[in-house]
Amino acid sequence: MSVDGWKTILVLGGIRSGKSEFAESLVTDAPVVRYVATAPEGDPEDTEWATRLAAHRARRPGSWTTEETAGEPRRLADVLASAEPNETLLVDDLGGWVTVLLDPDHQPADDLATIAELAEAIRTCPARVVLVSPEVGLSLVPTTPLGRAFTDALGAANRAVADACDAVVLVVAGQPAWLKPAASAPTAATTATTATAPTAAATVAASVGSAPVRPVDAEPTPEVQLPDVLTHTPPVAPNQEPGNPWAAPTMALPMVATGLVIQPGMELPMPDEYAGPQAVDRLATLDVPGAGLGVLDRVVGFAAATQGTSTPLAWGSVRVLLLHGDHAGGASAGTVAGESARRAAQARAGQGALARLAAESGASLQVVDTPAAAPMEHEPALTPQQVESALRYGWRLAEQAADAGVQLLVLGACGAGTEAAAAAVLAATAGAEPPAVLGRVITDSGEIDDAAWMIRCAAVRDALHRTRSSPRGAKDILSELGGGDVAVATGVLLGATARRVPVLLDGPVGLAAGMVSRDLAGQARHWCLLADHGGHPAARLAADVLGLTPLLDLRLDLGEGANALVALPLLRSVLALAAALPVHPSLAGDAALDEPESPATDPDDTEPDDTDLAAEPDFTEPDFAEPEPAGPGPTSTAPDEQPASGWRAG
């Protein structure tokens, strides 16, 4: 991975300075890493050198691929030129590359021309590249001609590569010092971040915080701290004793820069293609009196695929992300000023439909403020820098949830103008007509406001006309039409996909983000589940395009996110039932059919004896005692019920 959106980084350092470990820490979160080894094998009898190479190989994760270029130094430029945009290349190191370049087997050659070719390949490489190189400029001038030739060539290579790279860092005693661009004094926020998370990733974040790596002409885009995670308890019924009050925030992740670059063609994981069908087939064998779960068997198949097992468990830890961001201009026609902010504050206080449903479901709640969008009919909703920041912010929210053990994310929104923004995104991505995907505007008094609906349609129409000649890439759509909430939601979907966390969608914003995420990572939609489209025309169209079939048709309109929480207990019950029920005895084999044998009888003895005839059945009516009122005592657990255990996200 690169730092703050930069693609190419040169990591310099002396012998045993920790430069290789630091470079590896920059790419640990990259989905596709190719390790380019430049050093020759060396003398087979040199055990110390062999030990060093073995240590380097042992540190590499099994998911990385390795490519050797020691045989031909010019091949390194070809490897960079042929890299794919979704790859991350780690070249370790240029010292070994120069050693091969100066080998007599590759002479005579124009070393400077080969170095220039390498620098040009770095500039034009479509992939993210991290290069490691020894810094030789601090030592004495070698006394041998070969030593001087090596230092001269490596010095020239370092200068050329440093000029071609976006960022350069010098590692001394394991501590990074950023050289390009020039470092500035650390801020108090940076010090706090480093103290909070003294890990390798935090060290990278602190270094970037003290020397932000960004274009000279770009506005500063500091990382925003993630919002608090709130865990509320259900409200007390009037006839119950008061319990615990609404809980305070339980968790806040320290600010850590991930160095993430989100771009089209990302290769993210897919759910297990075999576990889902196996789980659905298993449902036909369960001991149920009726025909089974009906359309809800899709819940079991989805959970099985995302959990990677044919017997999925009910989601235990659930987190609701409520995205709050307003859209200015005609998109918000018909809304009351400040209403969305009131809803967000209400959710933070544990009040309102969303917070109470989350509390009843035992789900944590995170209210996320997103950038406000400009009037899309007149100007882009967001700047490109805001889009990049919002995407990374959403990814970090998903990472925070995965690190906390969350097994399901529920995506909600409460901003003004979100329906119009989602309609604009659908019109740009699916060719929909704005009037066909814009729902009726309902006022607080329950009346239909046709005038506000027409203003929203006109705003979407004018925005599409303004951008008729603009590119239709994912980031372009987010910048021109989508706004902050859709951009953050898109980042959440991508980050959740990368961490194998399923997402329960509910409403226009989440589905619009699903449409945009297709162009960035097509795998994201396979990690999404739609409980109910709520009767919203934009949600119906987006679900059809994404291939998401709603599980229910309740036509709820409690706000985006709250509708999904109404369905969540039902979905959990289905998963718990499917996991706990045994196989039907007729399909369980001979062992399940063992029954007590009846006394042996003579097959010829068919005549009843006198005792049988004398025994008259008792048809007297039994006494039905009045049932005692149920007390508040503990409930019993059936012998075949097992407590649900958590499952770990991959």
- Between CA 323 and CA 349 the distance in angstroms is 16
Per DSSP, what are the bridge partners of residue 169? Answer: 11, 178
Four-point Cα dihedral 388, 390, 394, 396, nearest 10: 70
In sequence order, what are the residues at sequence separation of 6 or more whose Cβ sits closer than 8 angstroms to the Cβ of residue 200? Answer: 21, 22, 25
pLDDT tens digit sequence for 127-175: 999 999 999 877 777 778 888 888 888 999 999 999 999 899 999 988 9
Residue that wins the pLDDT comparison between 140 and 416 = 416
pLDDT tens digit sequence for 236-259: 444 433 333 222 233 333 333 445
Considering only 106-110, 428-432, 524-528, which range has the smallest mean pLDDT?
Answer: 106-110
For residue 4, the model assigns a pLDDT of 52
- Between CA 184 and CA 516 the distance in angstroms is 37
For residue 214, the model assigns a pLDDT of 39
For residue 200, the model assigns a pLDDT of 38
Residue that wins the pLDDT comparison between 30 and 644 = 30
CB-based contact 438:401 (threshold 8 Å): no
pLDDT tens digit sequence for 252-296: 333 334 456 788 888 889 999 898 899 888 888 888 887 778 888
Token digits of residue 48:
């110390």
DSSP β-ladder status, 249-251 and 229-230: antiparallel
CB-based contact 81:124 (threshold 8 Å): yes
Q: SS3 of 286, please?
A: strand
Q: Is the pLDDT of residue 520 over 50?
A: yes
For residue 444, the model assigns a pLDDT of 75
Using pLDDT thresholds of 50, 70 and 90, give the confidence band for residue 107.
low
Closest by CA to 575, choosing from 360, 349, 335, 293, is 293
Q: SS3 of 91, please?
A: strand
For residue 108, the model assigns a pLDDT of 58
Per DSSP, what are the bridge partners of residue 235? Answer: none
Residue with the two structure tokens 């703050």 = 4
Crossing angle of helices 275-283 and 297-307, in 10° steps, is: 140
Per DSSP, what are the bridge partners of residue 495? Answer: none
Cα–Cα distances in angstroms (integers) from residue 321 to residues 324, 358, 485, 506, in the given order: 10, 11, 11, 11
- Between CA 166 and CA 1 the distance in angstroms is 13
Tell me the average pLDDT of the chain. 77
For residue 596, the model assigns a pLDDT of 44
For residue 480, the model assigns a pLDDT of 92
- Between CA 348 and CA 322 the distance in angstroms is 10
- Between CA 32 and CA 27 the distance in angstroms is 9
For residue 610, the model assigns a pLDDT of 46
Q: Report the amino acid identity of residue 30.
A: A
Range among 2-16, 30-44, 332-346, 535-549 rated most confident: 332-346
Averaged pLDDT, 356-371? 90
Angle at 334 between CA 330 and CA 338, to 5 degrees: 95
Using pLDDT thresholds of 50, 70 and 90, give the confidence band for residue 223.
low
For residue 265, the model assigns a pLDDT of 83
For residue 233, the model assigns a pLDDT of 56
Residue 25, H or E segment:
helix 19-26
Residue 319, φ and ψ in degrees, nearest 5: -125, 135
pLDDT tens digit sequence for 24-50: 888 887 788 899 988 776 666 677 767
Averaged pLDDT, 299-325? 91
Using pLDDT thresholds of 50, 70 and 90, give the confidence band for residue 89.
very high
The conformation of residue 329, written as its DSSP 8-state character, comes to G
User: b vs e for 26-65, b when ≥16 Cβ sit within 10 Å of the residue's Cβ?
Assistant: bbebbbbbbbbbbbeeeeeeeeeeeeeeeebeeebeeebe
Residue with the two structure tokens 């290349």 = 89
Considering only 48-52, 493-497, 553-557, which range has the smallest mean pLDDT?
Answer: 48-52
Per DSSP, what are the bridge partners of residue 504? Answer: 410, 529
Cα–Cα distances in angstroms (integers) from residue 157 to residues 95, 115, 141, 160, in the given order: 9, 6, 17, 5
Averaged pLDDT, 191-217? 37
Averaged pLDDT, 300-322? 91
Token digits of residue 45:
């009898």
Using pLDDT thresholds of 50, 70 and 90, give the confidence band for residue 406.
very high
For residue 41, the model assigns a pLDDT of 67
Length of the chain counted residue by residue: 650
Averaged pLDDT, 226-241? 55
Range among 46-60, 290-304, 486-500, 590-604 rated most confident: 486-500
Residue 560 bears catalytic tag: yes
For residue 206, the model assigns a pLDDT of 40
- Between CA 544 and CA 260 the distance in angstroms is 31
Q: SS3 of 586, please?
A: helix
Full-model pTM: 0.56
Averaged pLDDT, 202-212? 38
Give the E-state strand segments of 14-95 in sequence order: 33-37, 65-68, 88-92
Q: Is the pLDDT of residue 183 over 60?
A: no
Which residue is catalytic, options 560, 595, 597, 621?
A: 560
Cα 464–chain centre separation: 30
Per DSSP, what are the bridge partners of residue 170? Answer: 12, 177
HEC secondary structure over 603-622: CCCCCCCHHHHHCCCCCCCC
Considering only 86-100, 250-264, 601-615, which range has the smallest mean pLDDT?
Answer: 601-615
Closest by CA to 393, choosing from 289, 537, 255, 526, is 255
Q: Is the pLDDT of residue 218 over 90?
A: no
pLDDT tens digit sequence for 423-468: 999 888 888 888 888 888 887 777 888 899 899 999 999 999 999 8
CB-based contact 394:489 (threshold 8 Å): yes
In sequence order, what are the residues at sequence separation of 6 or more whose Cβ sits closer than 8 angstroms to the Cβ of residue 253? Answer: 226, 396, 400, 403
For residue 212, the model assigns a pLDDT of 37
Percentage of the chain lying above the pLDDT 70 cut:
75
Q: Is the pLDDT of residue 614 over 60?
A: no
Considering only 123-127, 315-319, 349-353, which range has the smallest mean pLDDT?
Answer: 349-353
Residue 508, H or E segment:
helix 508-517
For residue 144, the model assigns a pLDDT of 84
Using pLDDT thresholds of 50, 70 and 90, give the confidence band for residue 553.
confident
In the chain the first and final C-alpha atoms are separated, in Å, by 20
Residue 324, φ and ψ in degrees, nearest 5: -120, 115
